[in-house]
Amino acid sequence: MKIPVVQKVLEANERIGEQNRRLFEEMKVFVINLVSGPGAGKTTLLERTVEALKDQYRIGVIEGDIQSTLDAQKIASKGASVVQINTGGACHLDGNMIREAIGKLDLTTLDVLIVENVGNLVCPVEFDIGEHFKVMLLSVPEGDDKPLKYPLIFHESRLLLINKMDLLPYVSFNVEKIRKESLKINPYLEIIEISCKTGDGLSSWFRWLKHKAKKG
């Protein structure tokens, strides 16, 4: 017997993601899902961001790592409320893990919540966690071939931060190529070049975040 069924495979996760999103909206918390490959500089970006904005915004961070609490400790020391999720092998965070993590945060005390997803360019994009926007971080040493290799993450992100711009003289990375190819995949993508080390471009990122948080 052949039974026609039309069901999204990830429907259960999408439902939880949608519930999280409604909760964030009720509580007026602006939520970013920060995605990148390993080593692109997510944690350093968060440290800089918390340092710069902690007097204007109450910032919470959910830290997704396969193991260890190293990153969470670094960010907490800068003055954010941090919840660590250790996925114990899983390559991404999903709606359910975020639902559990926000149970440990008092959302009424937060304006902005940044979720640092597991470093991986494929899996985290598949699972809605209820964020307002995905922000992708790509670092110059990773190479400029990423849009065509991993199109979905470029397609789903609202903002691309190109990090470690200070290393541009030492590696082969064509910024114009990245801009062109990622805009082909996602014409709505905004792109900001930064260096968490020198601080170049970070003010544009802070401006973007403040502007979106106000509207969200």
Partner 1 sequence: MAQLIGSLVRCNLRGKMHELSIAQNIVHILHDQMKIHKLSRIESVSLRVGVLRSVEIESLSFSFNVLTAGSRLEGARLEVEEVPVRGRCMECGQQFNVKNWLDDCPLCGGPRMEVTSGKELDIVAIEGD
Instruction: Considering only the stretches 128-136, 148-156, 161-169, 190-198, report the one whose residues sit in contact with partner 1 under the rule CB under 8 A.
Output: 148-156
Residues 30-49 that bind partner 1 (CB under 8 A): none
Instruction: Considering only the stretches 49-57, 83-91, 168-176, 193-201, report the one whose residues sit in contact with partner 1 under the rule CB under 8 A.
Output: 83-91
Instruction: Considering only the stretches 75-83, 181-189, 190-198, 207-215, report the one whose residues sit in contact with partner 1 under the rule CB under 8 A.
Output: 181-189
Place of tokens 């014409």: 187
Question: Would you count residue 67 as binding partner 1 (CB under 8 A)?
Answer: no
In whole angstroms, the minimum distance from the beta carbon of 45 to partner 1 comes to 21
Cβ atoms of residues 42 and 139 within 8 Å: no
**CA-CA distance, 13 to 34, in Å (whole number)?**
18
Residue with smaller CB distance to partner 1, 85 or 194: 85
**CA-CA distance, 86 to 101, in Å (whole number)?**
11
**CA-CA distance, 53 to 109, in Å (whole number)?**
15
Among 27, 52, 76, 91, binds partner 1 (CB under 8 A): 91
**CA-CA distance, 101 to 84, in Å (whole number)?**
8
In whole angstroms, the minimum distance from the beta carbon of 13 to partner 1 comes to 7
Question: Would you count residue 9 as binding partner 1 (CB under 8 A)?
Answer: yes
Question: Would you count residue 126 as binding partner 1 (CB under 8 A)?
Answer: yes
Instruction: Considering only the stretches 40-48, 144-152, 159-167, 193-201, report the one whose residues sit in contact with partner 1 under the rule CB under 8 A.
Output: 144-152
Of residues 199, 206, 145, the one with CA closest to residue 177? 145
Residue with smaller CB distance to partner 1, 55 or 188: 188
Instruction: Considering only the stretches 74-82, 136-144, 149-157, 192-200, report the one whose residues sit in contact with partner 1 under the rule CB under 8 A.
Output: 149-157
What is 132-191 written as a DSSP string? SEEEEEEEGGG-TTHHHHSHHHHHH-SEEEEE-GGGGGGS---HHHHHHHHHHH-TT-EE
**CA-CA distance, 64 to 58, in Å (whole number)?**
20
Place of tokens 């003289």: 169
In whole angstroms, the minimum distance from the beta carbon of 34 to partner 1 comes to 17
Cβ atoms of residues 30 and 128 within 8 Å: no
Which chain residues interact with partner 1 by CB under 8 A? 1-13, 88-92, 94, 120-123, 126-127, 147-148, 150-152, 155, 180-181, 183-185, 187
